[in-house]
């Protein structure tokens, strides 16, 4: 498999964590977002949406959209499971993931921030404030849900990492980048510490990637 990704991209980071947790390897193909390589024809031919990540399978098929790719990984490589067994529990884990994947990340994405800078003359203080607003709204809800789960142990759900942690940790990394003080969310911070001890998360970290600047 070939993984088109970028070291600092949160959605790429998600996919690297999921691949590592499933003990799968993929050739690392860097697409430099800062140099806008994702907007060039070569990458447009891989993903017409011009967003990373994309996963090219050994048969040449290309999968796009990190939620779809993570679901594909779960279906084709079920062990270790990244979703719990019961339908309600799966819905809870998917809801946590969706807080990040649907309601935080998309409005803090590079192209949104570029529009704020170029069309609305936002400076970096304003951009950071924008990101902090939506990260905080999502993390407040995530933290409240964690606090309401008496069965939770070290991770977002249960005893082992799930899809929720796969989404959460890259968003925590992004919060740090936008100078958001994580002290406001002690449960999220504890999960971040627990995940940072695991090899799958260490190897997926942005700073550990070959294209890290
Ligand atoms: N929903 C897509 C979003 C992918 C996405 O937004 N990727 C970002 C990097 S985290 C990207 O390629 N951004 C390029 C840009 O905004 O110009 C997914 O989850 O795969």
Domains of the chain: 2-80 (3.40.30.10), 87-202 (1.20.1050.10)
Q: Is 127 in the pocket of ligand 1 (CB under 6 A)?
A: no
* Residue 213 pLDDT class (50, 70, 90 cuts): confident
pLDDT of the residue at 147: 97
Measured in angstroms, how far is the CA atom of residue 51 from the centroid of ligand 1?
5
Measured in angstroms, how far is the CA atom of residue 11 from the centroid of ligand 1?
6
Of the candidates 76, 65, 80, 77, the residue with the CA atom closest to the CA atom of residue 14: 65
* Element containing residue 63 per DSSP (H, E): strand 62-64
User: If you take atom 1 of ligand 1, which residue's CA is the nearest one?
Assistant: 65
What CA–CA distance (Å, rounded) separates 74 from 93? 14
User: If you take atom 5 of ligand 1, which residue's CA is the nearest one?
Assistant: 51
Pocket perturbation via mutation, ligand 1, pick of 4, 7, 11 by most ligand atoms within 8 A of CB: 11
User: If you take atom 10 of ligand 1, which residue's CA is the nearest one?
Assistant: 9
Contacts 24+ apart (CB under 8 A), 12-16: 12/52, 12/53, 12/66, 13/169, 13/170, 13/173, 13/204, 13/205, 13/206, 14/53, 14/66, 14/70, 14/166, 14/167, 14/170, 15/53, 15/55, 15/66, 15/69, 15/70, 16/203, 16/204, 16/209
User: If you take atom 14 of ligand 1, which residue's CA is the nearest one?
Assistant: 51
Q: Is residue 140 over pLDDT 90? A: yes
Question: Which atom of ligand 1 is nearest the CA belonging to 39?
Answer: 17
pLDDT tens per residue, range 84-119 = 999 999 999 999 999 999 999 999 999 999 999 999
Question: Which atom of ligand 1 is nearest the CA belonging to 50?
Answer: 12
Measured in angstroms, how far is the CA atom of residue 4 from the centroid of ligand 1?
12
* Residue 167 pLDDT class (50, 70, 90 cuts): very high
Q: Is residue 151 over pLDDT 90? A: no
pLDDT of the residue at 111: 96
Find out whether 19 and 200 touch, Cβ atoms under 8 Å.
no
Measured in angstroms, how far is the CA atom of residue 104 from the centroid of ligand 1?
12
Please report the DSSP string for 119-153 in residue order.
HH---HHHHHHHHHHHHHHHHHHHHHHHHT-TT--
Q: How many residues does the chain have?
A: 213
pLDDT of the residue at 141: 98
Find out whether 133 and 107 touch, Cβ atoms under 8 Å.
no
pLDDT of the residue at 210: 96
pLDDT tens per residue, range 152-163 = 999 999 999 999
Question: Which atom of ligand 1 is nearest the CA belonging to 10?
Answer: 10
Q: Is 109 in the pocket of ligand 1 (CB under 6 A)?
A: yes
Q: Is residue 6 over pLDDT 90? A: yes
Q: Is 170 in the pocket of ligand 1 (CB under 6 A)?
A: no
């Amino acid at each position: 498999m070939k993984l088109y990704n970028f070291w600092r991209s949160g959605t790429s980071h998600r996919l690297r964590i999921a691949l590592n947790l499933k003990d799968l390897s993929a050739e690392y193909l860097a697409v430099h977002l800062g140099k806008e390589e994702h907007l060039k024809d070569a990458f447009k031919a891989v993903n017409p949406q011009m967003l990373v990540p994309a996963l090219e399978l050994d048969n040449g098929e290309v999968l796009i959209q990190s939620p779809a790719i993570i679901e594909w990984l779960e279906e084709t490589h079920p062990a270790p499971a990244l979703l719990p067994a019961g339908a309600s529990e799966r819905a809870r884990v998917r809801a946590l993931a969706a807080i990040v994947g649907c309601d935080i990340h998309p409005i803090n994405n590079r192209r949104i921030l570029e529009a704020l800078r170029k069309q609305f003359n936002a400076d970096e203080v304003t951009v950071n404030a924008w990101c902090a607003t939506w990260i905080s709204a999502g993390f407040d809800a995530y933290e409240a849900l964690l606090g309401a789960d008496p069965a939770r142990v070290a991770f977002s759900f249960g005893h082992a990492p799930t899809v929720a942690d796969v989404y959460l940790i890259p968003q925590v990394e992004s919060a740090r980048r936008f100078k958001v003080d994580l002290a406001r969310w002690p449960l999220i911070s504890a999960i971040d510490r627990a995940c940072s001890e695991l090899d799958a998360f260490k190897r997926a970290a942005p700073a550990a990637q070959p294209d890290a600047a």
